[in-house]
Amino acid sequence: MKKKKVFVLLPDGVGLRNFVYSNFYEIGKQEYDIVFWNNTPFDLTELNFPEIKFEKPVLHPFTDIIKNGIIQASLSKNSKLENDKVYDTYRFKSSSKGLKNKIKNRIVSYLNSNYSNQKGILGLRNTINALESNTAYYKKCKELLLKEQPDFIFCTNQRPVVAIAPLLAAKDLQIPTATFIFSWDNLPKATMVVQTDYYYVWSDYMKKELLHYHPEIKENQIVVTGTPQFEAHFDESIFLDRDIFFEKYGLDSSKKYICYSGDDITTCPDDQQYLNDTAKAVRQLNQKGHNIGIIFRRCPVDFTSRYDATLEEYKDIIVAINPQWKKIGEGWNTVLPLPEDNSLLVNTIRHSELVINLGSSMVFDFAIFNKPCLYINYDVTNKKEKDWSVNKIYQFVHFRSMPSKEAVSWISDSQSIANLIEMNLSKSHNSEAVKWLEKITCQPTQMASERIWESIKTII
């Protein structure tokens, strides 16, 4: 009997870790003929994955402008309905250089002012669909689908505009479609760009969010699966013994290491100072008789030199182990993970005692291994940006999912870092962090790919 064909739509590199470097393909290929519809610069045939490359997609000239209008109007709608100013903090300032950008900003501002309600936003979505349906790009997508005859299209990321035309073409050919909401913080940020028949989410919590922010989506369209993001954490074949890992990355086997997980420069412009404060605290602890080092894992999209002075000053304490990502272009979404980074991340966690960062999802990575997380929760004296504050970060909606404040330890000032590290070194388990993990992603954590394929089977 001929296998059903599933197209896995990779509109950008965000889906690589979840759906190329996980067990997703190996599980699905037992029952389905899987083809990656690939818009990333990576050649997936080198990994023995069947792929069809995108022909260079050219959007309608107005599509991106209207998309930005939808995002702004959605944030305004949510702010008004909930009487909550937090949604305004999700707005990014657009460039106003040049006449073209000024005109674009005027149009987006007009759309935001006049369409910030459910009816208006749906009208804008329909406008984008009409525009994209008349592009040569849409016609090429339709021709390809007619030729290949897939039975299902699974889009790995809900945000890219380049995914609109392929999904519209599938809809017009009555091919069922689904998209995956790729991150735990996406829905409050109004990042839903595509429209599909089904929506795959991490948890019941995220399902409620999706129904709340998108009343046009019905409950029977939402499938709770978890995320393949954490599957590598359970793959013992990539585990490295401590001695091997330490030798490979030049670590001192006599030391206990903590992990400092860096943020991008937009999220945390003062991250280099927080690393410096952490290193200073570790030096104090070592003077008391401890023997602690720091593994610094920078944010994969941060290629700045802002940490260099601290890395040099504390080279006896800090070992930088950079993520295995590759920079393909200039934008943040053109810095893409390599397969080797799964092993690097997992073994960094396994051989670290705890993690320190500013509000990242690394809390969940470490919770899987029953290891504590310390959240930075103070502003430095000489801030790089006056308008930035940790208070802004922790007001974001996704932190409201935290079952209790005890899920992490809070670093309220630089003087408390040493004491909190010392206290947490002896912790082997944080039940509140595990509760947060269990709330934010479907359990068992490592079964997400199986649940996705079981749902696809049901739909087909």
Q: Is residue 330 over pLDDT 80?
A: no
- The pLDDT, as a whole number, for residue 430 is 77
Neighbouring residues of 439: CB distance < 8 A, sequence distance ≥ 6: 203, 205, 401, 403
Give residue-wise pLDDT tens across range 440-455: 999 999 999 999 999 9
Report the residue count for the chain: 460
Instruction: Considering the domain delimited by 4-59+135-227+445-459, tell me its CATH architecture.
Output: 3-Layer(aba) Sandwich (3.40)
**Is the link from the previous residue into 337 a cis peptide, with omega within 30 of 0?**
no
Give residue-wise pLDDT tens across range 119-147: 999 999 999 999 999 999 999 999 999 99
- The residue behind tokens 């899920």 is 407
Question: Of residues 387 and 18, which shows the higher confidence score?
Answer: 18
Residue 312 to residues 13, 268, 276, 294, 325, Cα–Cα distance (Å): 33, 21, 11, 13, 23
Q: What is the mean pLDDT of the segment spanning 224-253?
A: 97
What is the residue extent of each domain of the chain?
4-59+135-227+445-459, 63-130, 235-440
Per-residue pLDDT band for 435 (boundaries 50, 70, 90) equals very high
Q: What is the mean pLDDT of the segment spanning 106-113?
A: 96
Per-residue pLDDT band for 237 (boundaries 50, 70, 90) equals very high
Separation of alpha carbons 89 and 396, rounded Å: 8
Judging by beta carbons within 10 Å of its beta carbon (0-12, 13-18, 19+), is residue 449 exposed, middle or buried? buried
Give residue-wise pLDDT tens across range 348-378: 999 999 999 999 999 999 999 999 999 999 9
| Contact assessment for residue 404 and residue 392, using Cβ atoms and an 8 Å cutoff | no
Separation of alpha carbons 326 and 203, rounded Å: 30
Q: What is the mean pLDDT of the segment spanning 162-180?
A: 98
Q: What is the mean pLDDT of the segment spanning 230-256?
A: 97
| Contact assessment for residue 91 and residue 46, using Cβ atoms and an 8 Å cutoff | no
| Contact assessment for residue 297 and residue 323, using Cβ atoms and an 8 Å cutoff | yes
Separation of alpha carbons 356 and 417, rounded Å: 10
Give residue-wise pLDDT tens across range 35-64: 999 999 889 999 999 999 998 899 999 999
For the chain, what is the mean pLDDT? 95
Q: Is residue 329 over pLDDT 70?
A: no
Beta pairing, strands 152-155 & 4-10: parallel
Give residue-wise pLDDT tens across range 184-201: 999 999 999 999 999 999
Q: Is residue 332 over pLDDT 70?
A: no
Calculate helix-pair angle for 63-82, 98-114, nearest 10 degrees.
40
- The pLDDT, as a whole number, for residue 336 is 85
Separation of alpha carbons 25 and 156, rounded Å: 13
DSSP calls for 351-407: T-S-EEESS-THHHHHHHTT--EEEE----SS-SSTT--HHHHHTSGGGGG-S-GGG
Strand extents, DSSP E, 21-130: 32-38, 51-53
Separation of alpha carbons 25 and 8, rounded Å: 10
Q: What percent of the chain shows pLDDT beyond 90?
A: 88
**CATH topology of 4-59+135-227+445-459 equal to that of 235-440?**
yes
Per-residue pLDDT band for 101 (boundaries 50, 70, 90) equals confident
Q: Indicate the CATH number of 235-440 among 3.30.70.360, 3.10.520.10, 3.90.1150.10, 3.40.50.2000.
A: 3.40.50.2000
Give residue-wise pLDDT tens across range 371-400: 999 999 999 998 888 889 999 999 999 999
- The pLDDT, as a whole number, for residue 333 is 57
- The pLDDT, as a whole number, for residue 343 is 96
Neighbouring residues of 132: CB distance < 8 A, sequence distance ≥ 6: 59, 60, 63, 138, 164, 165, 168
Give residue-wise pLDDT tens across range 259-285: 999 999 989 999 999 999 999 999 999
- The pLDDT, as a whole number, for residue 23 is 93
Q: What is the mean pLDDT of the segment spanning 311-337?
A: 85
Give residue-wise pLDDT tens across range 200-222: 999 999 999 999 999 999 999 99
| Contact assessment for residue 4 and residue 152, using Cβ atoms and an 8 Å cutoff | yes
- The pLDDT, as a whole number, for residue 274 is 98
- The DSSP H or E segment spanning 295 is strand 292-297
- The pLDDT, as a whole number, for residue 55 is 84
